[in-house]
Amino acid sequence: MSQQLQDIEKVLSSHKLSGDDYAHIKQILGREPNLVEIGIFSAMWSEHCSYKSSKVHLNGFPTKAPWVIQGPGENAGVIDIGGGYAAVFKMESHNHPSFIEPYQGAATGVGGIMRDVFTMGARPIANLNALRFGDVLKDNKTSAHQRYLVRGVVAGIGGYGNCMGVPTIGGETSFDECYNGNILVNAFTLGLAKSDEIFYGRADGIGNPVIYVGAKTGRDGLGGAVMSSDSFTEESKSLRPTVQVGDPFTEKLLLEACLELFKTDHVVGIQDMGAAGLTSSSFEMAGRSGSGMIMHLDRVPAREEGMTPYDFMLSESQERMLLCAKKGSEAEIIKIFEKWDLDAAVIGEVTATGNMELFWHGDKVAEVPVNPVSEEAPVLNRPMSRPAYLDKIASVTIDDFARVSNQEAFERLTKSMEVVDKAWIYTQYDSMVQTNTIKNGGMLDASVVRVKENGKALAMSADCNVRYCYIDPKGGAAAAVIESGRNVAMSGARPLAITDCLNFGNPENPEVMWQFGQSCLGIKEACSALTTPVIGGNVSLYNETNGVSVFPTPSIATVGVNDDQNKVLMSSFQGEGNTLYLVGESNSEFGGSLYMKEVCGVVAGVLPEIDYEKELTLWDLVIEANKKGILECAKDASSGGVAIALAKMAAVSGLGCSARMLVNDERDIFAESMSRAIIEVKQENSASFESMAGVLQCQKLGTVGGDIVKINNVSMSMKELQDNYFNTFKRVIERDI
């Protein structure tokens, strides 16, 4: 088994292991490791798998509530949604692969997150995504490349999700120069399962068989987890072989085979082979159970000649699962997978040794104790320092810039890439398959699917204002939790839990580490105050190219339940003559606002005030008023303020409006005070709504109708508004075609 490694410094460098790591590995093993063992430690101790830089900051996330069935630590989180059913969901990143190879990187990100969900026993019923790209507007190589990346990523997401028959029902796409060197592709999947039929990734029962199922293993994706744990340089284009290639048709077969298997009592535990492939799945399953495992790697189905034990352990070939079964059920399990035209092979068994023992044609080629691989992975308390730029931008206000007329600002903002409709993207996704979609991409705010099994509806929204996170990492992360929850509440659903995808730059930079630590504090604070626990998520670091890191981007996806699928609240105007209200307090708050970015050309200022009590009161008002049937629509007023919220509502509905907002400064129609919503009610329900508003500030804005959108001293014809809103994105993204 032992073979002396030549040029150990070179081996360690290629595996991103330090000298201290090597000394620790020798201490754990009591001897020199061989190459297979080095590969195992390298993958499991990578940033991507071990969370070594982030773990100290993730401790203390609120993870419990009466409705939480499974929190962090499994393939996906699970909440009880009532009526005997559970929602299983998670969000993960596929940033590095998508930058290198946009189609396959994004496609396999979608495939991987769906496997995380259906390995828990849930049928995926909805996908979202949160996408960040660089500047797509200019006529230069950088913008042209970003437009190429947009087209590739969207095609990859659509190609994989559509083939799987899972609707992609919403998400968000934003653009900023900070992503020129590192785009972010965050994929979210939600599945439905019976609340007493959840499966876990465990390997229990001495002597129980370990069975490999799914597609054959090749050399694709070798070193993927390690690649995603480093920054990009000019040489990163050579990393293309580390990007996996997915096959959605195989994944569809794997999904159906697994769901058929789950109807039997053969399964002890099951785990997706994601990052680090067979290594992570086997070590995680054995680790959760405190058991050991024997695996015969020569029994693993292979699609390439001459593969080695190292290749089998580190490959990230897609559409594969590892399961622990009850002894004696092997033949029946193999029969199910063969019926679905998938490989299935008994490759090992559970042991009591606490060690992972790997064999190759009868010879032991590696033996590693399971527990230390995860429990003794490096935990780094990296240096942190508050970024110097924060002091420079805190005092900047919109008054430092030449004044622009409100009309000109409105015209600019309605063409902003953040504001305009992304139909070019979401029409490439099948949003109506499974026939449960009530509210999909383009309908504003949260997306909603019905749960026909119990009459309820599930609302979900993915959000993060990266400008807020740049000027105030703690407050910005809290604001992402707040906005994601608010969007769900505006659909009439009660927000119940979140999953996150924490995308940051190089953790070896103390300023980036400070941003990360502060963002975690903001998430903890907001989730505690709003009672939306974190039930799972993902950390993606090293989103940096040539020393330039992305803005802190803690993407938050919130899931909520509406007890009546027939009372889902829309977010655009519903009827001529209806009354519009602005609920919540408005102030001249422009820090990190869309106005400052688009009109003043900077990301600066002080974050708008956060008040959790006001936020919860707003949620309660909308949810309860909707239950009573007195609301027509509700939309949060966030990016671009009240003016842009009204413009979106008008454009989507095809109905104009006339509104008058009380302001201290005429520019306040674009201000971004939090905890606000625009509510539409029929005139006969106005008195009832006003009495329900209670302590919340509530002003009558105006009425729905006409062929003009007017608010205070700005106006635009519906024809011009809808042209700006619906056609701008396509014109930009298709420029190079």
Task: Indicate which residues carry an active-site annotation.
Answer: 48, 94
Taking the chain, what is the end-to-end CA distance rounded to the nearest angstrom?
55
Give the whole-angstrom CA distance, residue 68 versus residue 87: 10
**389 DSSP 8-state letter:** H
Exposed/middle/buried for residue 331 (C-beta within 10 Å: 0-12, 13-18, 19+): exposed
CB 216 within 8 A of CB 303: yes
SS3 of residue 660 by DSSP? coil
CB 550 within 8 A of CB 656: no
Tokens of 591: 């820090």
CB 194 within 8 A of CB 84: yes
CB 633 within 8 A of CB 574: yes
Tokens of 315: 């490959």
CB 557 within 8 A of CB 483: no
Report the candidate in 539, 580, 564 with the shortest Cα–Cα distance to residue 690: 580
Report the candidate in 264, 289, 273, 261 with the shortest Cα–Cα distance to residue 116: 273
Give the whole-angstrom CA distance, residue 285 versus residue 201: 5
Tokens of 28: 């754990």
Give the whole-angstrom CA distance, residue 727 versus residue 205: 59
State residue 587 phi and psi, 5-degree precision: -135, 170
SS3 of residue 717 by DSSP? strand
CB 157 within 8 A of CB 107: yes
Tokens of 83: 């009526």
Tokens of 462: 């993915």
Task: Return the biggest CA–CA distance within the chain.
Answer: 84
Return the axis-axis angle of helices 19-29 and 35-44, rounded to nearest 10°. 110
CB 390 within 8 A of CB 471: yes
Give the whole-angstrom CA distance, residue 714 versus residue 33: 70
Report the candidate in 715, 711, 570, 716 with the shortest Cα–Cα distance to residue 643: 711
SS3 of residue 183 by DSSP? coil
State residue 130 phi and psi, 5-degree precision: -125, 110
DSSP symbols for 278-331: HHHHHHHHHHHHT-EEEEEGGGS-BSSTT--HHHHHH---SSEEEEEE-TT-HH
Exposed/middle/buried for residue 168 (C-beta within 10 Å: 0-12, 13-18, 19+): buried
Give the whole-angstrom CA distance, residue 265 versus residue 274: 25
CB 602 within 8 A of CB 471: no
